[in-house]
Amino acid sequence: MGHLKPGEHLKERDLSEKMGISTTPIKEAIRVLSYEGLVDSIPRKGNFVSEFVDTSIEEILMLRAKLEGFSTRLATKKMTEEEINSLKKYIDIMEECLSNNDLDRLTEANSNFHNKIRSSTRNPLIYNMLKNVIQFDHSFRKRALSYDKEVELGVKEHRLIYEAIKERDSDLAEERIVKHIERTAINVLKNLDDNGSKNQDE
């Protein structure tokens, strides 16, 4: 994400060489992205990054925020004390990794934190809806954790979310996780735009 611009021609052979894989998974990925509306497949011309890709990304991230908010509301009411304690353990790991600059372990703890909340809804429908959205924005979340200020602020926000859940305040827990995801989306999209403009100027 952020490496290919809207309207850019997707050449399977070039992509396979850059990624070090065969063209077979590239073809399948392009097919899926075309179905999702992120790639325009034009007969006899080729495949191109959709002109609406930025809007699509933003909309998907906003959808994720709302779904995560509702799942957190449900989880706050349903979580056992043991499950709530596990959230604190993940935050402790994130804070430790923040001081040690261990981004890989922090990313894992971040994912585990959110997954614990989702599974605690005990609602397969919501869980599966979120699973589909999360698979799509995986690269975005990875990009978010590449910005130092974003990582530090994100860890603080996770603790605030945990505290609201611990107090069984479903309204506050929902509000905090929605704000966390929406703020992250806005900041990272802005960084992508700024970096894109900078690269064009250079």
pTM: 0.70
* The predicted structure's pLDDT at residue 195: 54
Residues 100 and 64 in one domain: yes
Phi, psi of 4 (to 5 degrees): -115, 135
d(CA 176, CA 174): 6
DSSP 39: E
Residues 75 and 154 in one domain: yes
d(CA 188, CA 140): 8
32: CATH: 1.10.10.10
Residues 64 and 42 in one domain: no
Phi, psi of 22 (to 5 degrees): -75, 170
Residues 87 and 124 in one domain: yes
143: CATH: 1.20.120.530
Residues 98 and 32 in one domain: no
Please check whether residue 4 lies inside any domain of the structure.
no
Residues 22 and 65 in one domain: no
Please check whether residue 117 lies inside any domain of the structure.
yes
Please check whether residue 2 lies inside any domain of the structure.
no
Look at the chain and report how many structural domains it folds into: 2
Residues 161 and 113 in one domain: yes
Residues 72 and 26 in one domain: no
d(CA 93, CA 105): 8
Please check whether residue 83 lies inside any domain of the structure.
yes
Please check whether residue 75 lies inside any domain of the structure.
yes
Helix (H, G, I), strand (E, B) or coil at 90: helix
Please check whether residue 3 lies inside any domain of the structure.
no
Residues 134 and 37 in one domain: no
8 Å CB contact between 64 and 181:
yes
Residues 45 and 74 in one domain: no
Q: In terms of residue numbers, what domain contains 40? A: 9-51
* The predicted structure's pLDDT at residue 198: 47
**Distances 12 to 2, 8, 22, 26, 30 between C-alpha atoms, Å:** 18, 12, 9, 6, 9
* The predicted structure's pLDDT at residue 16: 87
Phi, psi of 168 (to 5 degrees): 60, 35
Please check whether residue 80 lies inside any domain of the structure.
yes
Residues 23 and 65 in one domain: no
* The predicted structure's pLDDT at residue 174: 98
Residues 184 and 88 in one domain: yes
Mean pLDDT, 10 residues at a time, over the chain (202 residues)?
73 87 87 76 89 68 92 97 98 95 91 95 91 67 66 94 98 97 81 54 52
* The predicted structure's pLDDT at residue 144: 62
Please check whether residue 1 lies inside any domain of the structure.
no
